[in-house]
Amino acid sequence: MESYLTHGHYDLVTPDGWITKLEPIDRSRKLATVKIEGISLAFVGFDIDPSFLFFNLKSTLAQLGLHTITKMIELDRDRQIAHVTIEFNAFGPLANAMLDLLTVDAYVGKLFAADERRRVRDPDYLIRLFGRSDRKGRPLLSLGGLEGSGELILEKIQGRTVAFLSVREGALVYEMDVYGFLPTLAKALCKNMSHTRQLLHLHQYFEKKAPHIVKNNDVLLVRTSPLHIRTVYGKVVDNLLPPGFHHTSANILQPDTFASGDIYEFYGSSHQVLDDIPLEFYTLEPHREHVFFSDRDQLIASLEDPKALFDAFTTAPNPKQDLAAVFIVKGTQLKSLKEKDWIKRDPLKYEFPGLVHPSRQAIVAEKYLEQQPSFPFLKAIEDGLITSQGILLSRYFPTPLLKRMFLNDQIGRCLKRIYFQYPSRTHDQFFSHEDRAFLVDLAKFGIPVYWVDEISHQILQYVHKPDHDSGMFVPLNLVEDFRKATMFGVYGSNLQEGVFEKELKELLSGILDMRKSMHHPLLSTSTPLALVTGGGPGAMEVGNRVAKSVGFLSCANIVDFRPKDKSVVNEQRQNPYIEAKMTYRLDRLVERQAEFYLNFPIFLPGGIGMDFEYTLEEVRRKTGATPANPILLFGSIEYWKEKVSSRFQINEKTGTIKGSEWVSNCFYCIQTAKQGLEIYRRFFENHLPIGKTGPIYPEGFCSAISV
C-alpha cells in the first residue's frame, strides 16, 4: 500500500529510460533500444493490453523536430524493468543534427499507459476544476491564469471529453546559434538533467506572421495560451487534427504542467491551417486528483450507509491487536477495500523517559509516531503526495501523540473525516484523558470523528457540547438534538433499580408536554431534551430505559469498572438503552463526574457513588459553576434526612458553610412525578424561590409537600 506514497511516482507513467543501443537506418532515421528501470509495481501498464502503451519522447527533442515510432515493448514486472524498441525520425536539418549527436546513455523518454478506464468521459469532471488551485495557489486546470477557461472549449466526442486549445497567430522558429547548443544538450541528456527545455527556449523566437501550415520534412511549432494541468494527463488526439497534420510522439502533458504547456510540435504535409489542438485526458490515481470531498457523491452516499463502513473494517488485517489504517478518497475505493490496501503496524514498545527528560522523550516519541499506521498517510499529505480530500479509517482511535500532524493546516484541508472501530488498543472501549482532549481539538479544528461502534451497531459522531470542553459520541440523526439539548440526569445505585420507574416515566413524559407551553431558555417547543446516566445497571438502566421510551436522547458517561486487582467495585456492564455516550478510564472517575454538565439532576436512592455525585452537584451550585436550577430527590423524606440532613446541619452549626446555606433550596424531595412537575413548572415560570436570595431549609433540602 505504501508504494504509491513514494515521491514522484504516477501510475500511468514510468521513469525516464536511456538508450542502450543505437543503429542508423538512413540519414534521417535510427533504431534505438531504450531501457527503463525502477518501474513501480503500481504501473498500470503491467496490467493492460500492450497496444495501449506508448513511448512518450522528451519534448525538448520533439521541439527540435524528432519523432519516435514504438516498435516493441517488453515489460518485466518481477525485475521492474522495460526494454522498448523505437525508431527515431528526424524532420528537417536541425533534427538531423540532433539525431547525429544522440548517443548511448541519453535519456530520451518514458512509457505512458493510456488506460481506457482512466480516460475522462464527462466534461463536468474538468469543468469543476476551473477557478480552483492547489495549496501553492497554482490553478488545477486552466488555459491562461487561475480563472482562464474562455479559450478552452470542452466537447464530448466518441465517448470522451476533448478540449480544443486555440492556437495563437504565428509560429516559433530557431536562431542559427541553436546548432552550437546541441552538443551541450546531448551531454545533458546523458545526465538526465532537467530544465533543458527552458534552455532550448533561449534559442527560439516568435514569428508573428508565420502560417500554421505543416510542410513535408519540417516541423511546425505553434503556441497556445499557457496551459496549467495539476489533476490529469493531457494527450493530443491525432485523429482529430486536420488531414495531413500529426503531432510528434511527445504528445503527453504531465500533471506537473503549469504555465509551460504552451508549445506543440507537428509534422506531416497539409495545405490546411491549424486553428486549434484537440486534447483528451486521463485521470491520476484518486489520491492525487486534487478532488474535493464535496465532489465525491458516491463516497458521501456510502458513508451514510453503516453497513458499508462496518464491511470496510472487516477487511482490516488480522490480528485485531495490530494497528491498521487506510486513507480513502472515493466511493469505489471504500467498497472494494482489500486487506492489502491497509497499512498494518505492531509498534515496538518503548519506555517513555518522561517529561523530566524532554530531549530523550522527543526522540522516543518520534520513533513511536513513525510506527503508527496513520503516519505514512499524514506525511504523504504534508509532502503533497496525497492531494485529494478524503477520510481516514483507523482500527483504533489515533494516538494523541499525532496531534501535531492532524492539526497541521495542510492535513486539515485534506482530511475530512476520521472513522475508528475501537477507542484504545489496551483499554478497548475506554478513552484516556489525552484522547478526549484530542477529540475536543479535532472538533475545534473542524475534523469530524466517527465511531463505528460494534456495541450499538451504529455510526456515532463525536459532538462537542457548546460552552463545554467535552462531548459525546452521538447517532448521526441525533447530532443537532444533542448540541441543543437541555440535559437532565439520573444518579443512583448500580445495584438496585428501585421502585421509581413508573414515576420517572411520568415525570419525563410530563416535561415533554410542559415544553409546549413554556418559553424558557431551557424549555420551549424548540428545545430537544436529553438524559444522562453513568451507563451501568440498576438505577442508571432505569433512567436510560425510560428516557429512550419517552423520546429523550438517552446518554451515558461510562467508566471502566472492569474487575482489577484488589478492586471492590462492582463491574458495571453497559446497559442496552444508551444512544449517545462517552467513555472514561477508572483513573479519571472524578473528571468523568465533572463532565456530566447537567441542567437538571435527578437522584434516586444510591450508595457511596451517589453520595459523591450529590456533593459535587452541591459544590457546583455553591461555586456558581452551575446555575441554581432545581435538583429532584426521589424517595421518602426520612431516607433523604438520614442521607443529607446531619451533614448539612453539622456544617451549618460549625459555620463551615456560612453564606452558602442557601444551596439547600436547590434540592427538592419528591415521591411522585406530579410533585416534580410542579417544581419544574414553577421554576420555568420564574415562581420558584431558589438561589442566593431564596430560603434556607434546615434539613438541607425542601420537601415537595411544603413547596
Neighbours of 296 (CB within 10 A): 24
- The Cα 589–Cα 616 span in angstroms is 13
Q: How many residues does the chain have?
A: 707
Tens of pLDDT, residue by residue over 388-439, are: 999 999 999 999 989 999 999 999 999 999 999 999 998 999 999 999 999 9
Q: Yes or no: is domain 288-454 CATH 2.60.40?
A: no
Whether the domain at 123-170+211-284 and the domain at 288-454 fall into the same CATH topology: no
The pLDDT value recorded for residue 368 is 82
Position with higher pLDDT, 246 vs 2: 246
The pLDDT value recorded for residue 151 is 61
The pLDDT value recorded for residue 468 is 84
Average pLDDT score over residue span 580-592:
88
Q: Kindly indicate the confidence band of residue 145, based on its pLDDT and cuts at 50, 70 and 90.
A: low
Are the C-beta atoms of 246 and 289 separated by less than 8 Å?
A: no
Average predicted confidence (pLDDT) for the chain = 90
- Is the pLDDT score of 345 beyond 60? yes
Give the H/E segment covering residue 151: none
- Is the pLDDT score of 171 beyond 60? yes
- Is the pLDDT score of 462 beyond 60? yes
The pLDDT value recorded for residue 395 is 97
The pLDDT value recorded for residue 141 is 80
Average pLDDT score over residue span 130-135:
78
- The Cα 577–Cα 558 span in angstroms is 13
- The Cα 98–Cα 183 span in angstroms is 8
Cell numbers 465511531 correspond to 451
Average pLDDT score over residue span 687-707:
89
- The Cα 448–Cα 425 span in angstroms is 21
The pTM of this model reads 0.86
The pLDDT value recorded for residue 490 is 94
- The Cα 154–Cα 79 span in angstroms is 41
The hierarchical CATH code for the domain 485-707 is 3.40.50.450
- Is the pLDDT score of 261 beyond 80? no
Domain made up of 123-170+211-284: CATH architecture: Distorted Sandwich (2.70)
Tens of pLDDT, residue by residue over 186-216, are: 999 999 998 888 899 999 999 998 999 999 9
State the fold for domain 2-117: Elongation Factor Tu (Ef-tu); domain 3 (2.40.30)
Question: Between 178-190 and 93-101, two packed helices, what is the crossing angle to 10 degrees?
Answer: 40
What percentage of the chain has pLDDT greater than the value 90?
73
The pLDDT value recorded for residue 6 is 61
- Is the pLDDT score of 370 beyond 90? no
Please tell me the least confidently modeled range out of 115-124, 149-158, 486-495: 149-158
Please tell me the least confidently modeled range out of 478-492, 509-523, 604-618, 674-688: 604-618
The pLDDT value recorded for residue 589 is 79
Helix residue ranges per DSSP H, 284-337: 297-303, 306-314, 331-335
Distances (CA, A) of 526 to 102, 474, 515, 522, 580: 79, 19, 8, 10, 20
Q: Where are the domains of the chain?
A: 2-117, 123-170+211-284, 288-454, 485-707
- The Cα 252–Cα 54 span in angstroms is 10
The pLDDT value recorded for residue 704 is 77
Q: Classify residue 663 by burial, with Cβ atoms within 10 Å: 0-12, 13-18, 19+.
A: buried
- The Cα 506–Cα 520 span in angstroms is 21
- Is the pLDDT score of 259 beyond 70? no
Report helix, strand and coil shares of the chain as percent, to nearest 5.
Answer: 30, 30, 40
- The Cα 519–Cα 530 span in angstroms is 18
- Is the pLDDT score of 563 beyond 80? no
Which residue type is seen at 40? Answer: S
The pLDDT value recorded for residue 255 is 84
The pLDDT value recorded for residue 239 is 93
